[in-house]
Structures are given as structure tokens and as C-alpha cells.
Structure 1
Amino acid sequence: MNRERYSIIFSSLTGNTRQLADAIYETLPKENCDYFGVKETGQPLSEMLYIGFWTDKGNADQSTLELLSSLRNKKIFLFGTAGFGGSDTYFQKVLEHVRQSIDESNTIVGEYMCQGKMPESVKNRYLKMKEQTEHPANIDALIENFDSALSHPDADDLDRLRNLLL
């Protein structure tokens, strides 16, 4: 998988997915990279595409979904980050939603997801919710998840991704 021409295309709202894209770029032969960056107009020329996304309401962000739905006859390695990253089950649900946007002429050759830190505004929203007399029963768990996500993607997350590429 790592000897052919490839492109790394990603969308990164908070920089988490960019860290994964950088790890992929650092791992693969740079001389085989046709493109590295956010989606541009037109179709990517490489047959092998590493496509990264951030999670928005349990699916990839809209820009990535549009790109994925336009692709035909490509090999795709999906990678993404999600603030709610406590379980592989959740990651698999997200990937399942993302795969629904990919035409069957494409081949998914790999997938990787990990937790990513969220903007401080998310925690502030949770804290305001907690101040209300009628707040969600899981508000403390949401705040705890926010705090645990602050260190992600971490070195272990990046190493697991690199090992998938070797």
C-alpha cells in the first residue's frame, strides 16, 4: 500500500485530523505524494487516497462527505477524529455512516479513528447546562469525556496509525 502514488486530503476544524494527516505524510514515501492538504476543486489524480475528516453529528464533516461521494475507482484509506472517542463501537458507527457516502466502485483499503480534543466552547456549554436544574443525566460524563479528550490525538494514537501504514 505504501509504494504507489498517493494523495492525502483532509478537513480539520481544530487541528486534530491535521495531526493524523501529518503522521501519514511522515510515514509514507514523500516522493510518491501527489498532493497534501485540504480538498481543492477537481478530482484527485492519485489512485490511492488518504482521506481525513472530523466528526460532525456522528458522520464526517460535509466537505469530506461531498468529496467521498464524488470519487470513482479509487483506493481509499479513511482517517478521522471524534471528540466522543471513548469506545471503538462509536468509531465504528461513525465509519459506517461515512462509508455510506462512498461509491461502490471505490475500494476501502483501511480505516483509522481516534479521539480528538474539542474546542473550549464545548466545555463551557456543558458547564452552563449543568447549572440548570433540569440538565441531562449524563452531563458529568460529558464533562469528563471533554477533559480526557484534551490530550488527543496523543503519541499512542499517532503510533497506532503509523503502524497501520507499514
Structure 2
Amino acid sequence: MIKEHYSILFCSLTGNTKKLADTIYETLPKDKCDYFGTNDSQVPQSDVCYIGFWTDKGNADQKTLELLSKLKNKKIFLFGTAGFGGSDAYFEKILGQVKQSIDASNTVIGEYMCQGKMPQSVRERYVKMKENPEHPANLDLLIQNFDRALSHPDSEDLERLKKSL
């Protein structure tokens, strides 16, 4: 278990990443927590930082990337959610992108990603696209993925997160 003081900072567009942040906060010793809350791009004093993000075009959201670029000499645990999940290879690709924004003076001490539900407007957009006779061939797969994501992050996702801490 963690002996150092830590901060948990996160960006959550739909509440998925906040669920992960809440799970981390509930799991770690509360007396060691210097800060828990949304990422306001301020560099935390803690040496250990749990940084949460939502996925935007295959990378972390812009606010998270800005924060990561400012961190120096920190131990960082990355956690995030992506609507298009189900593949560890996809999650690893996203984490690889995110890590490119981290200064070399930092150490990544852990990482975790899982699928997260998407706003209903995404599904509605896919259904509308199907009305076009020349719609993308993978539209049915996108709709299936959307429906699969509705339950995530689920209890299994949260248990896996706890084990990764």
C-alpha cells in the first residue's frame, strides 16, 4: 500500500473517469490524500499523482495533456476511459500516446484503462448515418460497441482497477 502522500486529479466528460477516481480514492489511505478533484491544470504538491482522463481522438483530453506536460519529478499513475474499448491493444495505444506528453523526469508507476459509456447523441448520430445509402460499412459494429459500452465502467472494471493500484 502507498506510504507517500498523493493527489488524484481527473477530467471526466460523462462521469466514467470520475467513477475510476472515486474507486482509487476509496481504495487508498485517505489520510495520505493531499487533493482529490477535477483537474484545473494546477501542478499538485504531492510526489505521487493519479491522473485520470477521458479519451479524445485516441489521446487524453486536452486539459489532461496540459497538466501532464507541466509535471516534473513526479510518480504518475495514469487512468482513463475510452468509449471504443474491449481491446487491450487499443488501450495500450492510447496510453502510449498519453505518455508522450509526460516529461522524462517523471516515472509512470502504473496505468489502467477501461471502456466507458458514451453520450446517447453518439448512437443517434450512427443511426442517422445509416439512413445514407453510402454509409460506412462498419456502422453496425459501431452501434454494437456503443450498446456494449453502456454498462461500463462496471464492477469488474472497478475491481481490476483496485488490483492495479
TM > 0.5 fold call: yes
Is contact 2:41-2:67 (8 Å) kept?
no
Aligned residue in 2 for 1:74: 74
CA deviation after TM superposition for structure 1 residue 41, in Å: 5.2
CA deviation after TM superposition for structure 1 residue 43, in Å: 1.8
Aligned residue in 2 for 1:157: 157
SS in 1 for 2:31: helix
Aligned residue in 1 for 2:10: 10
Is contact 2:8-2:21 (8 Å) kept?
yes
Distance 1:102 1:39 in 2: 16
Aligned residue in 2 for 1:96: 96
Percentage identity across paired residues of the two chains: 71
Is contact 2:42-2:67 (8 Å) kept?
no
Is contact 2:41-2:66 (8 Å) kept?
no
Q: Is the aligned partner of 1:118 residue 2:118?
A: yes
Q: What number of residue pairs does the alignment pair up? A: 165
SS in 2 for 1:81: strand
Distance 1:123 1:23 in 2: 28
Distance 1:42 1:26 in 2: 23
The residue type paired with residue 97 of structure 1 is Q
Q: TM-score scaled by structure 1?
A: 0.98
Aligned residue in 1 for 2:145: 145
CA deviation after TM superposition for structure 1 residue 138, in Å: 0.4
SS in 2 for 1:22: helix
CA deviation after TM superposition for structure 1 residue 40, in Å: 3.0
Aligned residue in 2 for 1:133: 133
CA deviation after TM superposition for structure 1 residue 19, in Å: 0.1
CA deviation after TM superposition for structure 1 residue 139, in Å: 0.3
Unaligned 5+ runs, structure 1: none
CA deviation after TM superposition for structure 1 residue 39, in Å: 1.9
Q: TM-score scaled by structure 2?
A: 0.98
Distance 2:107 2:39 in 1: 20
